[in-house]
Structure 1
Amino acid sequence: MTSTATHPSSTRNSRSVLDRAVAARSARRRAEAAELTAALDWAHAHPAVSTGHAASWTGSPTALWGERTISLAGVGAPLVAEFAPVEYAGAVGISHEAANALIGDALDLAHRLPRLWALVHELRVPASLARLAAQESRDLDVDAAAHADRLLAWQPTRLNPHRIGVLVQEARLYADPDRAHADHDSALASRRVDVQHDAGAPSTSQVHMTLDTADAEAFDDTVSAMAATLGALGDPQDLDVRRARSVGILADPQRALDLLAVVDRETGALDDGETSPAAEDAGFTPSSPYRRAPAHASGSPSLVLHVTASDLLDPLRPGQGGVATSRLGPVLLERLARWLVGAHVTVRPVLDASLIAPVDRHDPPSAMAEAARLRDETCVFPHCNRPSIACDLDHIEPYVPPDEGGPPGQTSLEALAPLCRRHHRAKTHADFSYRRLRDGSYRWTLPGGFIVQTDPPHRRPQPPR
């Protein structure tokens, strides 16, 4: 039984509603693209007549006489006469600052991010996201902006404010490693931990932490191990509650050590299936604010990195390459080297999908599961950005056990696709279906008959050399 089932007579009405929603969305994107194009045409019609006067984005209030040149966009975009945005703002009915921003974003998109600009006109990327990308990349030089443009246009349906920031930072990392170092040092200088007792529900407080990424990974691993131990000891509460309890236990170093001493950090299970009185006491002692001072606790997180040999071995750019991670974003090789001091490093070959044979069981072997998640980085439902590492692996065609007449080899790399739990449940329990096309995209049929499709995968753009 599906919760989305509808009467046949209402299916046509439902489809009509979806058609109108899609049309309205397309009309809005078309109007926003047209507004950006008008701002660009206005800028082109009012070029700067002179570059002899330096000026800032907001202009100088002391320069009363004459019309000055102002730079609204990044390097490589044309300059605009000072009073052009003033006239545009008055005619359109927006503030001068809004006109400056609109014209500057249009210039950046057209002249520095042309691939993204084309996607805006194809209605594949909303103007609001494209404008955010223009603002985020404005400090980049021409070559770095070109690489940012390639990265942004690589998987346009996955763009969101956070991903835009990550991709632009990746371009910045390659173009200006000194700036990346300075940004890193500045970010570390802003680390803090805030405890708010008056913001949570009764009997709870809120804790907000800004940590070094390496410390955050270690902290997350330690909390996860402690929560798993609490569960193995019989704590019936949800994982989130056990993780919160684990943070509280960390306030007492000895309790934390007692709890961690009996857990296998690789599996999260109790060593040899046994425990100790100290661990049980640590797991079930009630919380108390009157405990010993905190001590440093370090976990052993597992992090998968993808890095090219050219970045590792380039003698002209030692330590200046980068590595892309799905969880942490772009990381400088020099910073990565500091993380790996004393760590256990495993170098693994690239998986050859042609050597992964089908199996006659429901759950795929580890190599097949990893290959499926590497092939599809996210849930394959359109516009879902849930990382595939956190997704279920779904049989595109429902799996039938062999003892119930199912054919052999149902579990294969081609038969699997990552789905987040929400979309997995929708496909399993409602009238959602999909199939993989030859180009690697996925075509979904929704309950009302509406068809949507993902973009085919594209090779990640290479950084400039």
Structure 2
Amino acid sequence: MDQGSPDAAAYVDAEIAGRAHRVGAVVLARLVENARARYDTDAHEEAEEAARESWDVTLTHAGVRDGRWLGTSWMQITGDTATLADLNDLVGRIAHDLLAAHPDLPLARRRVLALQVIVDRARAHGDTPAPGRPYKAYVHLTATPEGHIAPLGRVEDLGPATSALVREWLTGSRVTVTPVLDPDRGDPIDAHDPPEWMRELVIARDQHCVFPDCRRPARRCDLDHISTWIDPAHGGPPGQTHPGNLAPLCRRHHRAKTTTDPTKQWRYRRMDHGHYTWTGPQDQRLVVVPGIGTYSPL
């Protein structure tokens, strides 16, 4: 057992203290993985390197109907996350553009046609892929006052990543650096929509939709006022918009919280330690720990 294991075990113990009997396998596995990365960064970096050994592109022509090929093949790609995300984004945008020429084809068929478009463009450019929108990733890193980068960071929607891997991704890329956010900043404003710094703070803090068991990335969520915002011009109090009264909710769960139908409405509040307690329409209670998971307090 490595020297970081006691610290990692203590981290997990502290996170589940008082609720271990209610923590499921998924939440526990996520906690263990976070602890492993946090307290044994060298091992995490070695695991990243070892994962590269599985990278490959395979093409299979075996048929599923009477063993016949029927012109349908299967391609499986295992590789760099940034590259595959970029490819997936490009395929989606081309598939959308093909809708005008192929309105009768479903999206899945147009995504396959998009691959042919990419191949044709590469050939036309001398086997150089056509320019496309670069893959965008939000990376959170910590630096010391001397400018040294911590060995482990976090990539939104993905999880822990070594700074070596992040550096590899960023080489040759355009990078936008956001000033350090003070997680304790809480100055309120009277307007309904939060300023950019406040939005970024809430996104970084909560990471995903805070409805029970929802993992939709916070950057693709609405920012909900936990206590309903009332226009100060119509009697509402000042300073209702502040980080403590904001939380990311995906559109579906935002509606579940704001509906006026008592048989469907969910209510919630944010605790001082950052957990969210939810009460459902049948008075069921659940607690959401951002970045970790959902558990029942009963």
The answer to whether the Cα contact below 8 Å between 2:91 and 2:114 also exists between their aligned partners in 1 is no
Q: Show the counterpart of 1:32.
A: none
Instruction: Give a deviation string over 1:292-323, Cα, whole Å, max 9, x none.
Output: x9864564011111122249955xxxx99232
Q: Show the counterpart of 2:288.
A: 454
| Letter of the 1:360 counterpart | A
| Counterpart mapping for 1:367-378 below 5 A | 367-378=197-208
Q: How many Å apart are 1:418 and its aligned residue?
A: 1.0
Q: Show the counterpart of 1:86.
A: none
Q: How many Å apart are 1:409 and its aligned residue?
A: 4.9
Q: Show the counterpart of 1:360.
A: 191
Determine which of 219, 228, 237 is the counterpart of 2:87: 219
- 2: CA distance, partners of 1:224 / 1:356: 40
Q: Show the counterpart of 2:174.
A: 344
- 1: CA distance, partners of 2:78 / 2:31: 21
The answer to whether the Cα contact below 8 Å between 1:379 and 1:386 also exists between their aligned partners in 2 is yes
2:10 aligned with 1:180: no
| Letter of the 2:155 counterpart | T
Q: Show the counterpart of 1:427.
A: 257
- 2: CA distance, partners of 1:360 / 1:303: 29
Instruction: Give a deviation string over 1:129-178, Cα, whole Å, max 9, x none.
Output: 3xxxxxxxxxxxxxxxxxxxxxxxxxxxx7265x3675366258613377
Q: Show the counterpart of 1:306.
A: 140
Query: Residues 450 and 112 from structure 1, CA distance in 2 versus in 1: closer, same or farther, beyond 3 angstroms?
Result: closer
| Counterpart mapping for 1:148-227 below 5 A | 159=27, 161=29, 163=30, 166-167=33-34, 170-171=37-38, 174-176=41-43, 179-180=46-47, 182-188=49-55, 191-194=56-59, 198=63, 207-227=75-95
Q: How many Å apart are 1:210 and its aligned residue?
A: 1.5
- 1: CA distance, partners of 2:146 / 2:47: 18
Q: Show the counterpart of 2:153.
A: 323
Q: How many Å apart are 1:115 and its aligned residue?
A: 5.6
Q: Show the counterpart of 1:44.
A: none
- 1: CA distance, partners of 2:101 / 2:190: 36
Q: How many Å apart are 1:417 and its aligned residue?
A: 1.0
Query: Considering only aligned residues, what root-mean-square deviation do their CA atoms show, in Å?
Result: 4.6
Q: How many Å apart are 1:349 and its aligned residue?
A: 1.1
Instruction: Give a deviation string over 1:375-404, Cα, whole Å, max 9, x none.
Output: 212222344433322322222233456776
The answer to whether the Cα contact below 8 Å between 2:226 and 2:268 also exists between their aligned partners in 1 is yes
- 1: CA distance, partners of 2:89 / 2:283: 44
Query: Residues 313 and 176 from structure 1, CA distance in 2 versus in 1: closer, same or farther, beyond 3 angstroms?
Result: farther
- 1: CA distance, partners of 2:104 / 2:248: 28
- 1: CA distance, partners of 2:196 / 2:42: 37
Determine which of 15, 23, 33 is the counterpart of 1:125: 23
Identity %: 31
| Letter of the 1:251 counterpart | Q
- Normalising by structure 2, report the TM-score: 0.69
| Counterpart mapping for 1:67-82 below 5 A | none
Query: Residues 116 and 330 from structure 1, CA distance in 2 versus in 1: closer, same or farther, beyond 3 angstroms?
Result: closer
Q: Secondary structure at the residue paired with 1:252?
A: helix
- 1: CA distance, partners of 2:202 / 2:167: 29
| Counterpart mapping for 1:287-306 below 5 A | 296=129, 299-306=133-140
Structure 2, unmatched stretches of 5+, are 293-298
The answer to whether the Cα contact below 8 Å between 2:153 and 2:161 also exists between their aligned partners in 1 is yes
Query: Residues 254 and 440 from structure 1, CA distance in 2 versus in 1: closer, same or farther, beyond 3 angstroms?
Result: closer
Please identify the structure whose Cα radius of gyration is greater. 1
The total of aligned residue pairs comes to: 278
Instruction: Give a deviation string over 1:167-224, Cα, whole Å, max 9, x none.
Output: 3662586133773364144233xx2244567569x99876532122231132133234
| Counterpart mapping for 1:257-272 below 5 A | none
| Counterpart mapping for 1:221-260 below 5 A | 221-227=89-95, 229=97, 242=107, 245-253=110-118
- 2: CA distance, partners of 1:443 / 1:184: 37
Q: Secondary structure at the residue paired with 2:247?
A: strand
- Normalising by structure 1, report the TM-score: 0.47
